[in-house]
Structure 1
């Protein structure tokens, strides 16, 4: 089997690439950096530029599935210009993949795309499953909605489409966890706002395994890529401190302070999404890290 990956050199992409190679799956990957192109027996790079519509059609040779992870990080200050980049980096990538698949002979039968639980509204009470459709007009919800719409057009080419709505990814190599750890290591760990907001998280190894599971089982449709037991922000902060053997006694950090520090991006810390993983579990996926304690022990005790 050969898979084409976009975003292969990012945090999640590296984990997925390693896992696929370990399972004997060959990889083609698309990159916007020509100096990141390698040509090894099982791992070959191809250039593309979604902004200008350039793509090396040879990336499709022998490929039967695509894993789409392309998209600018949301963990940067949301200026008007960068907001546009967050949206365009996702939509233009999907549009270009649709175009190259439509206009070239290929063997692609499945398209697995990253998505995000940011599509669900902020709520302390609602428990979100995949068939929820009452989305609001927040920036993140709009981003994910446009992202998924751009991916859905792939179905018009008679290709199965699977979307994994990813929650808070726990990894020491990037993402939110290293930023959470920094103040805690100094004994300054604290929850944000009320601390009651639910955070639906997933260990990066479980996330990579979920993409492999979707590939091997030819899944289609929407699945929430989160662990089975979401936690409150207060619980997350407290378990991080306990795992690191650090004190946890400071008062919660008010929203207005983080708004001054981060701007509109502060909503990432204060919004609550209690998200179900039951659908992927019923499909047969087994989590290695079911609780926040086991996940953080694995990541922080090494």
Structure 2
């Protein structure tokens, strides 16, 4: 099986590439600078989103298209300019994936597009499944809606299309966790905001395995929540993190201070959605890390 991945050298893409290679797949990674990457067995680097690039010629015959490309939402304050870059990077990459898909003679059997649980309404009482109609209207939700709308054009070519809505992905060196862990490592960790906001998390290992599960289970399409089956509140997350790191949980970070520091980006940690992975569970996916403590223990002590 041959898979094409955009964003294949990023946080999720790197883990997914290893997951696929370990299970007998060949992988083509779309990148603006293929010459910067060393060649590897069963991995090729294909130029895209650059002048003169015609990636469709090199990925012809591929079975799977996976789009993970887009500027990180975690790496800086959301200025108006940065919001525009976050949105544009996702729309541009998705439109290019659809253009490539349109121009290959053999269509892939599945198109998987990254997405986010930020589409759901923040609430302390609602539990969201993929069938939830309680969508938000903030910046991140509107970005997700447009992103999925562009990806949905793959269905026009008869291609099974899935939107993997990621929760907070936990990994040691990248993503949100290092920022969450830093105050605890400095002995100043504590509850952020009210502490009652939900944090729907997932271990990076399960993200990669869940994407492969979607590839290999042909009955799955549409939205797929990629979150562990046991979401926690922010207060519980902080206490569990403190326990695993053997640090105190004592200094609160009030909401007004977080808003002052992060602006609109503060919604990522001050508001949350309780999301469960109904599609994965109903189709038989078994999480390796279903509980937060075992996930954090593997990350920091494994």
Consecutive unaligned residues in structure 1, runs of 5 or more: none
**Separation in structure 1 between the aligned mates of residue 91 and residue 45 of structure 2, nearest angstrom:** 22
Structure 1 pair 71/55, CA: closer, same or farther in 2 (3 Å)?
A: farther
Q: Given that residues 199 and 233 in structure 1 are in contact (C-alpha distance below 8 angstroms), is that contact kept between their aligned partners in structure 2?
A: yes
Aligned partner of 2:236 in structure 1 is: 235
Please state whether the residue corresponding to 1:179 is helix, strand or coil: helix
**What's the CA shift string for 1:80-104, capped at 9, x where partnerless?**
1111111111111111111222233
Q: Deviations over 1:124-180 (max 9, x none)?
A: 111101112342320010010111001001100100001111000000020111111
Going from structure 1 to structure 2, the CA distance change for 1:63 and 1:126 (only over 3 Å counts) comes to same
Name the counterpart of 2:58: 59
Output the CA distance in 2 between the equivalents of 1:38 and 1:249: 46
CA contact (8 A) 2:172 2:178 kept: yes
The aligned counterpart of 1:257 is 257
CA distance in 2, matches of 1:292, 1:280: 18
1:55–1:190: structure 2 CA closer, same or farther, 3 Å change rule?
Answer: farther
Q: What value does the CA root-mean-square deviation take over the aligned residues?
A: 1.5
TM-score (norm 2): 0.95
The alpha carbon displacement at 1:106 in A equals 2.4
Aligned equivalents of 2:203 and 2:254: distance in 1? Answer: 28
Distance verdict in 2 for CA 1:233–1:168, change over 3 Å = same
Contact kept, 8 Å, 1:3 with 1:63, in 2: the verdict is yes
Q: CA deviation at 1:261?
A: 1.4
- Tell me by how many angstroms 1:190 deviates: 1.0
Q: CA deviation at 1:39?
A: 4.1
Match of 1:2 in 2: 2
Unaligned runs of 5+ in 2: none
1:71 aligns with 2:70: yes
CA positional deviation for 1:59: 3.4
Aligned residues: 300
Kindly state the Cα deviation for residue 239 of structure 1 after the two structures are TM-superposed. 0.5
The CA deviation at 1:34 is 3.8
Structure 2 CA distance for partners of 1:257 and 1:160, relative to 1, 3 Å: same
Whether contact under 8 Å (2:119, 2:144) holds in the other structure is yes
Asked whether the equivalents of residues 170 and 201 of structure 1 are also in contact (C-alpha less than 8 Å), the reply is yes
Q: What are the residue-to-residue correspondences of 1:288-299 with 2, within 5 Å?
A: 288-299=288-299
1:286 lines up with 2:286 in the alignment: yes
Shift in Å at residue 259 of structure 1?
1.6
2:246 corresponds to which residue? 245
Aligned twin of 1:83: 83
User: How far did residue 208 of structure 1 move?
Assistant: 0.5
Structure 1 length normalisation: TM-score? 0.95
Separation (CA, whole Å) in 1 of partners of 2:41 and 2:169: 30
- CA separation in 1, counterparts of 2:156 and 2:301? 47
Aligned partners of 1:167 and 1:200 also within 8 Å? yes
**Structure 2 partner of 1:194:** 194
Aligned to 1:103: 103
